[in-house]
Structure 1
Amino acid sequence: MTYTKTIFQINKMDCPSEEQLVRMALSDFSGITDISVDFEERQAKVIHQENPDQLLQAIDKLSLESQIISSEIVEGPINSKTNQIVQRFILGQVLIINLSFFVIEELAGYFFHSLGLSADGLDMLADSLVYFMALMAVAQSVSRKKLVSAIAGYLQLVLALIGFGQVIFRVINHQYLPNGIGMMTVAFMALAANIVSLYLISKADQKEVHMKATQIFTSNDILINVGLIVSSFLVSWTKSPIPDLLIGCLIFIFVLKGSLKIIALSK
């Protein structure tokens, strides 16, 4: 039996949660036997018996700047059952990491008076929702998957809007100063957690794991953590809450954009 191997260039797929969004966008196609992702090249290789243009249309809903690089006929199906089991196990691990740091950063944001930490905690929750949806996507009907996507997307949207409300409130009532040392400590912990998550996801997708520095530090999640570390240093140096407000606002924008991508999956 013949199958088609299609390689998609997905320029804005730069973190594990966006990979899972791509996988969920393609999960409605029964003719797909394997999906592998290359973060460094920002490409997805799909083995399937579908129309490649229809697959591209599904990915395009995520607004990740996708296009078909190549498409060729290959012989025989790719047995990916073992890989799927490994991926589900790793997704569960990454889900636990993200949920744990959602709690840690929200508590730290409260005690250290940091909007940036609270925003990054919300970003961790947003990633958790994506991983949860990816785990739920297996053996679920199309309508059920779309319902779960809609609920998760709109929940994330509401949380992002609440976050922007917090930014406005703190701009008006700015008589506070975050704890810069506390911010930096938790930000480094979150950075380590995201690097571990990226490593685990890469391990699921590749037989030999070789993560280059460029692959790590071009990930949105990693860039956000680095920005949070820089802002914590600036808070300590300037004795001003403005760097914390700026990074918090930036992270809420990322969360808002992520919610719109999830909502797109439900339509």
Structure 2
Amino acid sequence: MEQLTFQVPHMDCPAEEQLIRMQLAERTGIRRMEFDLPGRTLLITHSDDAALIERLLIELNLGAVLVGRTEVAAIEATDESDLQRRVLITVLVINAALFVIELITGLIAQSMGLIADSLDMLADAIVYGLSLYAVGRAASHKQQVAKISGYFQLCLGILGMAEVVRRFLGAGDEPGFMLMIGISLLALSGNAASLFVLQRARSQEVHMKASWIFTSNDVLVNIGVIIAGVLVFLTGSHLPDLVIGSVVFAMVCYGAFRILRMAR
């Protein structure tokens, strides 16, 4: 039995963890995976092909680098299916609900920042949904759904960028900064709740170290929209909203490309 240590620089939120779990779901020789998101570290205990595991991780383009290999005592595989389902259902519901809330209020407030953030929530919900669907199913099912979801997400991102350009050229009114700030605070709370649920689930697994997840891209996006709302209020301009919207739509498109690469 061998333990591989990977540094994964771009593994900074639970969505990346789920992508890795999905990517390695078919490797029956993997006995244990330990994720340290703050430390960007992944430990894999296995009796599989180390080179293949490394290649599968590299394919995700998260910057995974094998930094250590250690012989360890044999262990039994841990059945985490029920726990994973409960956790994934919880965070899926949170992200899906926030997607609907942010999308509706974003349209009402005419805020591209909120609309973009809602699509970022949708992107996370897609990742969690794919992970939930993949539990106990063959890779072919996972890949088919991943492709459909990836293309759907990419279309949304492109349409969002087109709308940003349209508004930048003069169409659209000043967004409602109060809704931007208020709903972003709600979304921030939702992301914190998701991280808390994931962290609690991790601490209940005897083979995983409890680690405090202190940052994620979603939290940064929420803070960005809040700052944009404040700047809209102070300047009376819609440009801060368009800037944060552009950034988040770009993130949504990047996430779509990553899902599509994984589904190949």
Question: How far apart, in 1, do the equivalents of 2:220 and 2:144 lie?
Answer: 31
Match of 1:99 in 2: 96
Question: Are residues 1:232 and 2:213 paired?
Answer: no
Question: How far apart, in 2, do the equivalents of 1:39 and 1:15 lie?
Answer: 7
Counterpart of 1:125 in 2: which secondary structure? helix
Match of 2:58 in 1: 60
Matched residues, number: 260
2:36 is aligned, of 35, 38, 42, to 38
Question: How far apart, in 2, do the equivalents of 1:261 and 1:175 lie?
Answer: 32
Residues 232-251 of structure 1 aligned to structure 2 (within 5 Å): 232-251=229-248
How far did 1:174 drift? 3.6
Match of 1:27 in 2: 25
Residue range with higher mean Cα deviation, 40-49 or 241-250? 40-49
1:182 is aligned, of 179, 184, 187, to 179
5+ residue gaps in structure 2? none
Counterpart of 2:256 in 1: which secondary structure? helix
Question: Are residues 1:136 and 2:133 paired?
Answer: yes
Question: How far apart, in 2, do the equivalents of 1:91 and 1:120 lie?
Answer: 20
How far did 1:246 drift? 0.3
Counterpart of 1:154 in 2: which secondary structure? helix
How far did 1:142 drift? 2.1
Counterpart of 2:42 in 1: which secondary structure? strand
Match of 2:85 in 1: 88
Output the TM-score relative to the length of structure 1.
0.93
Deviations 1:36-66 (CA, angstroms, capped at 9, x unpaired): 2111111111121112221111111111111
Question: How far apart, in 2, do the equivalents of 1:110 and 1:175 lie?
Answer: 11
Over the aligned positions, Cα root-mean-square deviation in angstroms equals 1.4
1:201 is aligned, of 198, 201, 205, to 198
How far did 1:121 drift? 0.3
Question: How far apart, in 1, do the equivalents of 2:246 and 2:134 lie?
Answer: 31
The question of whether the paired residues in 1 share the 8 Å contact of 2:36 and 2:211 is answered with no
Match of 2:261 in 1: 264
How far did 1:199 drift? 1.9
Deviations 1:148-206 (CA, angstroms, capped at 9, x unpaired): 11111111111111111111121123441111111100001111111111122222223
Match of 2:108 in 1: 111
Residues 130-169 of structure 1 aligned to structure 2 (within 5 Å): 130-169=127-166
How far did 1:84 drift? 3.5
Amino acid at match of 1:77: I
Counterpart of 1:5 in 2: which secondary structure? strand
